[in-house]
Structure 1
Amino acid sequence: MQQKENYNYIQAFKWIYSRLLKKRKIQFWILFVGMSSAALLETVAVGSVAFFASVITDPQVMFNSKYVAFFQTYTHLEILQTVKGLILASGFVMLGLILFKNIMKAVVAYGITRFGVLIEAYFGQVLLDGILRLPYKWHLMRNSADLVTTIMWRTFLGREFFRPCLLIMNNILMVAIMLTALFFIHPGVSMSVMAVLGTTSVFIYKVIKKQVDRTATIARDYQLSINQVTTMAIHGIKDVKISATENQFSSRFYKKAFPLARITGMQELYAESPVLILETIGFAMICAAIFFMLLLSNSSTAYVTGTMVVLAVTGWKALPAINKILNSITKVRKALPFIANEIMYFEEIEANAPPAGLKTSKSPVFEHQIHFNQVCFSYQDSDRHVIHNMSFEINKGDTVGIIGKSGAGKSTLVDLLIGLLKPVKGQITIDGTPLAREHLAAWLQITGYVPQSPYIYDGTIAQNVAFGVDESDIDRQWVKQCCTMASMDEFMEDLPDGIDAFIGERGIRLSGGQQQRVAIARALYTRPEVMIFDEATSSLDTKSEKAIQETIYSFRGKQTLIIIAHRLSTVKACDYLIWIDNGTIRLQGKSDKVLSAYEKETVAT
């Protein structure tokens, strides 16, 4: 899968926004209006602080000013008719505005963060659902650790990208409105401040942009490698201990984690540099402007004081806002390589999405016969057929065994039969209906599968039997019946909590035979009509194998049984056998006939 690296933040923003639900788009514009209102309130509050400072410095001059006269004329407020009242009124207005704008800013901050996490939740769910629905053949070509990491990186679509984008908009609005207000108060000073800070900001952005992009890509690749090593070591802990490779794995981890620390440090340096540089230059400019007005201007003390306060407060508010803009831009650029990775998987999901209008069959699909007709299959990027021109029938209610040496193609045949893999040639039909995408869900609903190495997770027996079902929705009585049918009653009597007993990650508290019984109970939970046992006894000892065989054949006559086995003892009682050799059917027919020929071949070789 080709990695795309050339997304810029505008393209990435458009890509995310275009895929948002209508409800989220409306929320986005509500947030935008809220951010604009908060920015306007911030500017008005700054003006009220400047006005209050001027009133305190020279109350008589301000009392006689045209602005106060305007309010006195049109409001007729008694409090504005005295100097003391003006001081009190301007103080209360300033406090009210500051309180209101802070409440507004808090609401906007909450909205921005919540919106970012909502985006993560939405895209995370779409990503997980999409990956789970991708063809099984696609999964065979992927690293599971990379897929888990991809789901975890959903934060780079929300908090690490869209939230900084919203913060950029919020702070740009605030800075723009403040500098516009400053321009009307003192055009010369404001133009100088804007020119110097703007030029400096652009220069800093241009200098650090390439370094941010480079380090972000390197950091992403290091994190992928670290997750792969960690997943391999934890999942294969038994092999790690037996092979005494603890040092090798920890060394491989360190070789990736150590340079990642340096890269992360550089990223933080690039993020903090604009803050330090702009803060120094910004306050130097403010001081220069104040000195200019004090030494060269003939303005009144109240005007100079008010302007000084506006400049100081604007600097106090605008400089951190500009720093936040640059910080957010840096954060966005750091997220771009991760977003490219996420988009790559979304494109895979969209490319494999079912055609519009595809209707799925919900009716039963197996009443008479499963038919393989000249079926061929080869794995991706390979021209060699691992299944070649295979034809056979399985009648409903039959017990059919599939035998062959390791590598003969038995497991691939099972994956084709289940519907996980699609033939590259030929056709599989159920009662004459092709096993196509629109019928697959109905087929899987009536198919139970017991693998050689079942996946047992760290939960209770009930949770493992009702795999994937919310605990509140588990049919506990049916779980108990499935456990009984899987011959689990004997060992469950030793468990104090019965079906609520925790069995450990990968079923560590159960024997191999007991794990297989849990897998059989899981297959039975969906009430299948077809049961497929894929080498279900090959890794068991003789005693456990015999017990599982008895359990398997107890379903005879109740379900159609398909038993794949390497050990002939497992399939001796089958009605019909199919002998596979190098991806083709060597022989098929009654069990005694096929077993006799197979045993002769085995002895001869």
Structure 2
Amino acid sequence: MVSYSKLIRLLCPRQRMKMYLLQVFFLFSALFQVGGIASISPFIAVISNPSIVETNSILASLYLAMGATNLEEFLVYFAVLIAGVILLSNLIASYSLWLLFKFAVSVGSELQSRLYSSYLSNEYTFFTMNNSATLIANLTQQIPRFVYMVLQPVLQLISQAFIVVIIIIGLLIVDPVLAMCSFLVIGGVYSAIYWTVRKRVVSAGDTITNINKIKLLLLNESIAGVKEVKLLGIEQWYIKEFKEAAERGLKASAYIGLAGDLPKFIVETTVFIAILVLAVYLFTFYGTDGQAMSILSFYAMAGYKILPAAQTIYKSTSSLKANGQVIGILHRELSNAEKHRSEPGALSIPLSNKAVFTSLKIQLDCIDYRFPGKDTYALKKLSLIIPEYGFVSFVGASGAGKSTAVDILLGLLTPVNGKLIVGDVEINKGNVSEWQSNLGFVPQHIFLLDDSIKKNIAFGSPVGDIDLERVKMAARRAHISEFVEQLPLGYDTMVGERGGQLSGGQRQRIGIARALYQEPSVLIFDEATSALDTVTEKNILNELTQLARSTTIIMIAHRLSTVINSDSIYVFDKGEIVGQGSYDELSKENEYFRLLMSANASEPEALNRDKYST
């Protein structure tokens, strides 16, 4: 079941105040609605026994206040008054409902923004430890589920509970015995059904939570890996798994829906029979005078209002029982996100506001790093110095620690021990964004927007701030301009989702152009030329050699042919540096480097045949 205090803690202070005020308005609305139905009882009493106007002091005062000259005129005025009260109460109820939905949607919107902000403000390791499908599901499925299946039902339950309580108080005043009997009958039926289905409702809610994750995971896998899926011929397996998951989810949803609506028919039948019994009871003890008709009409109108209110309360309770776990999920996600959240000073700063360091000499001082949940160290007592400007390369076998060292240089990973020092400044969570504003990074697998080539090269810049000449210059230096400029739409050509309209080499060159567009002080490549043909790679390496006169270039390379002209090469093995020097020096003096050279020589050079390369 839902903890009201836990729900309230999900809201920001301003929303909590709004929710409290909304509940006050619900009470005000309930009073008007009950007042509307209560006014019908004396009207029926006057019609069935006109003499009551003379014997009842309230009706007599109302008769005089209306200035009626006869009973017929009084009845007309009285009917108009009642109609006005009912109309006003329904208008207030409608406005109350609008406020309820508006508030719930605004909470959902704010909660999505808050959780999304928490996710993006997290350290890099948070994303390596969490499945992206789960994070997306929390934002796109769990928060809407919280809004529509938890928050709205809670608010509806509160608003309808006010109506039920006020009506029961009124019934107790009129006839305590009948009121208690009515309450026990209706409450007993709902309680019996609720206690019968509650466990299966909770189970169905858990099923929906798990099924939503499974469906999103299947969609992500099959669409992201569509090439492999088709080549392996496993489309039908994914279709079958998705269909089975969808059916299980729909069955669970159907059960929750049935459990919420089923009591309505049972209770309606029970109440209808109860009113017939009440009619017999009243006419047996009160006869056929106006009092019996008045009481019967009051109970009938009370039933007219209390039945839908009781049904809403029950349905809301069932929804909360089935979906209450989403509150715990969101609390856990927000708490987890806050634990990994970067310090305020670590939030990225715009590229145009590049921070200035007095020196860009980079030093890794005795770095130890171990990935969360791992026992072994990826880097051990690693130390190196990269001078300002020049071309430095990292080489080594897969898993040697090259990419981990680069992630520490990028400020994405925080070492367990040791320091990253730039100039004379130690980089920490408070100033890492200033350091990152000086960096350009080209990964092996380029992330591309489903947008134009221009926007992909100028990624991170607002549309109105994109400098087209700078885009073209970056494209020329990345040797992609010739291809782009012969396209019908040029730099406005759409690349497709994940760059699906481009070859691997073209995607890498756009990634290189993106890094060059930023005009970084330090440019880092992580196997970023692996998809290029040898001619294009050679041309780009020549560009980088020229660029190294005014920029620090750091390159991770698998093919040793790409690092021949490096000023300095660091050789990695098992998280340690086992050699450092120029290509010629290492080839003569470092046995492990010669082993890498032999391994490279035995691998055939695979040319990348770009779809559009000339």
Do they superpose with TM above 0.5? Answer: yes
Q: Deviations over 1:26-59 (max 9, x none)?
A: 3212211221111111101102233333344444
What is the distance in 2 between the residues matched to 1:581 and 1:19? 48
Query: Once structures 1 and 2 are overlaid, which stretch shifts more, 374-383 or 464-473?
Result: 464-473
Q: Is the 8 A contact 1:63 1:83 kept in 2?
A: no
1:348 offset after TM fit, Å? Answer: 0.7
Counterpart for residue 600 of structure 1: 594
3-state SS of the aligned residue for 1:456? coil
Secondary structure of residue in 2 paired with 1:428: strand
> 1:184: how far off?
1.8
Partner residue of 1:509? 501
3-state DSSP of counterpart to 2:368: strand
Give the secondary-structure state (helix, strand or coil) at the position aligned to 1:438.
coil
Q: Tell me by how many angstroms 1:480 deviates.
A: 4.3
Partner residue in 2 for 1:4 = none
Rounded to whole Å, the distance in 1 between the matches of 2:468 and 2:597 is 49
**What letter is aligned with 1:65?**
N
Other-structure match for 1:408: 400
Residue 22 of structure 1 is aligned with which of 7, 13, 28? Answer: 13
Superposed structure 1 runs of 4+ greater than 6 Å apart: 355-362
Amino acid at match of 1:194: F
* Other-structure match for 2:38: 47
CA distance, structure 1, for counterparts of residue 47 and residue 544 of structure 2: 93
Q: What are the equivalent positions in structure 2 for 1:183-262 lying under 5 Å apart?
A: 183-262=172-251
**One-letter identity of the residue aligned with 2:2:** Y
Normalised by the size of structure 2, how large is the TM-score?
A: 0.90
Q: CA deviation at 1:517?
A: 2.3
Aligned with residue 34 of structure 1, among 4, 17, 25: 25
Task: Call closer, same or farther: CA 1:481–1:277 in 2, change over 3 Å.
Answer: farther
Q: Taking structure 1 as reference, are residues 374 and 122 closer, same or farther at Cα in structure 2, changes over 3 Å only?
A: same
Q: How many residues align?
A: 592
Following the alignment from structure 1 to structure 2, what is the Cα–Cα distance between the partners of residues 468 and 82? Answer: 80
Unaligned segments of structure 2, at least 5 residues: 600-614
Pair 317,378 (structure 1): closer, same or farther in 2 beyond 3 Å = same
Amino acid aligned to 1:590: S
Is 1:460 matched up with 2:449?
no
Asked if residue 425 in structure 1 is aligned to residue 413 in structure 2, the reply is: no
Give the 3 Å change call, closer, same or farther, for CA 36–526 of structure 1 in structure 2.
farther
Q: 1:527, 1:90 → 2: CA distance?
A: 81
> What is the alpha-carbon distance in structure 1 between the residues aligned to residue 372 and residue 303 of structure 2?
61
Matched, 1:396 2:388: yes
CA contact (8 A) 1:160 1:335 kept: yes
Distance in 2 (alpha carbons) for counterparts of 1:328 and 1:180 = 23
2:149 corresponds to 1:160: yes
CA contact (8 A) 1:117 1:158 kept: yes
CA contact (8 A) 1:465 1:519 kept: yes
Aligned to 2:481: 489
**CA 1:366–1:84: 2 relative to 1, 3 Å:** farther
Q: Secondary structure at the match of 1:70?
A: helix
Amino acid across the alignment from 2:368: C
**Structure 1 residues 398, 177: closer, same or farther in 2, change over 3 A?**
same
| Offset at residue 465 of structure 1 (A) | 2.8
Q: SS of the counterpart of 1:437?
A: coil
Question: How far apart are residue 582 of structure 1 and its match?
Answer: 1.9
CA distance in structure 2 between the partners assigned to 1:539 and 1:63 by the alignment: 99
For 2:346 and 2:370, the matched residues in 1 are separated by: 26
Match of 1:308 among 296, 305, 309: 296
> 1:586 Cα deviation (Å)?
1.4
Output the aligned Cα RMSD: 2.5
Summarize the Cα distance change of 1:391–1:490 in structure 2 as closer, same or farther, 3 Å threshold: same
Residue of structure 2 in register with 1:263 after alignment = 252
Give me the whole-angstrom Cα distance separating, in 2, the residues matched to 1:554 and 1:303: 103
Q: CA deviation at 1:470?
A: 4.8
Give SS of 2:148's match: coil
1:513–1:548 contact (8 Å) kept in structure 2: no
Which residue among 121, 131, 136 is the counterpart of 2:119? 131
Give the letter aligned to residue 105 of structure 1.
A
TM superposition shift of 1:539 = 2.4
Q: Does 1:71 align with 2:73?
A: no
Contact 1:578/1:594 (8 A) holds in 2:
no
Q: 1:148: Cα distance to partner?
A: 0.7
In structure 2, relative to structure 1, the CA distance for the partners of 1:494 and 1:102 (3 Å cut) is farther
Q: Which has the higher mean CA deviation after the structures are superposed, 512-521 or 100-109? A: 512-521
After superposition, the Cα gap between the structure-2 partners of 1:353 and 1:411, relative to the gap in structure 1 and judged at 3 Å, is closer
Cα deviation, 1:379-425, whole Å, max 9, x if unaligned, reads 22222112122111011212211111222221111111111111122
* Partner in structure 2 of residue 117 of structure 1: 105
**For residues 520 and 368 of structure 2, what CA distance do their matches in structure 1 show?**
27
Matches of 1:189 and 1:265, distance apart in 2: 37
Q: Quick one: which amino acid aligns to residue 478 of structure 2?
A: A
What code does the residue aligned with 2:525 have?
F
Structure 2 counterpart of 1:3: none
Of 143, 153, 166 in structure 2, the residue corresponding to residue 177 of structure 1 is: 166
Q: Deviations over 1:251-301 (max 9, x none)?
A: 22233233333322222222222223322222322222222112332362x
Q: Is the 8 A contact 2:345 2:429 kept in 1?
A: no
Deviations 1:125-148 (A, max 9, x none): 111111222222222122111111
Q: Residues 373 and 427 of structure 1 are in contact (CA less than 8 Å); yes or no, is this contact kept in structure 2?
A: yes
